[in-house]
Amino acid sequence: MNLILMGPPGAGKGTVAKQLINKYGIVQLSTGDMLRAAIKEGSEVGKKVEAVMAAGDLVSDELILELMENRLQQDDCEKGFILDGFPRTIPQAEGLDVILEKLEIKINAAVNIDVPKEVLVERLSSRRTCTNSSCQEIYNILNNPPKVEGKCDKCGSDVVQRDDETADAIMHRMDTYNEKTAPLIDYYKNKELVVDINGNQSYEAVINEVTSKL
Ligand code: AP5
């Protein structure tokens, strides 16, 4: 199964992806996680994108498409994948179509998670994320805190607030989503791939709705 996960910042894409990979035995390809790992490593890509991400802006389409074209050719993608946070602009979606055609891969569905804006802001302000690049487990201090404060339940690494979770950056990410990413819903509706999900329900209810509709 090859899926695209769509939805505004804080909709729960990462949370849903982490459950689906266990259920279906497929891999999560999160451009946000890959970029944060590159920043942590101090790589050239990381240095290029650090300030852009902290401000809540989008990284260039060229860089993202190159990253994903390489990633999609790795062996672990053969069993299926979830694109989490990609594509995020119409040029990225068009670029993805070209890559998929070249690699002879088909997308089964574009899962669109919808959550009201006021809920998103609260979720993002209270989210905490594991700093270990190969874990990046997601927590929420209001409804899903780590068992030991500040430490990841899975790997024991520090759990912190992301650099793009300041009030200004959150608002900017919302605006960027509405302007550049929301038009992708129609793009994939035209391809008859969209599966709409109400993301404003319990963790369990969201994942049940996703799996029953897929
Ligand atoms: P990215 O990491 O992709 O961030 P995002 O899309 O803004 O999404 P988030 O990770 O903030 O939210 P999410 O929907 O995954 O929600 P989560 O599951 O964590 O991108 C970050 C940056 O990288 C971008 O701003 C950009 O700079 C760059 N970038 C990445 N991809 C790019 C691309 N393709 N092109 C250009 N630039 C790119 O959940 C949020 C919180 O809510 C958590 O605390 C969680 O516990 C909680 N929660 C989840 N579900 C529920 C529920 N049902 N009930 C209650 N709480 C819930």
Tokens describing residue 104: 């002879």
Site to probe by mutation for ligand 1, drawn from 35, 154, 181 as the one with most ligand atoms within 8 Å of Cβ, is 35
Can you say how many angstroms the Cα of residue 145 is from the centroid of all Cα atoms in its chain? 20
pLDDT band at 21 (very low <50, low <70, confident <90, very high): very high
- Work out the average pLDDT over 79-93: 97
pLDDT band at 142 (very low <50, low <70, confident <90, very high): very high
Q: What percentage of the chain's residues is helix, strand, coil (to nearest 5)? A: 50, 15, 35
Per-residue pLDDT at 38? 94
pLDDT band at 59 (very low <50, low <70, confident <90, very high): very high
| Cα gap 143→127, rounded to integer Å | 9
Q: How many CB atoms lie within 10 A of CB 34?
A: 20
| pLDDT 10s digits, 149-199 | 999 999 999 999 998 888 899 999 999 999 999 999 999 999 999 999 999
Per-residue pLDDT at 15? 95
Q: Is 140 close to ligand 1, i.e. is its CB under 6 Å away?
A: yes
Q: What is the mean pLDDT of the chain?
A: 96
Atom of ligand 1 lying closest to residue 15 CA: 18
| Cα gap 45→67, rounded to integer Å | 10
Q: Which amino acid is at 67?
A: L
Q: How far is the CA of 58 from the centre of ligand 1 (A)?
A: 13
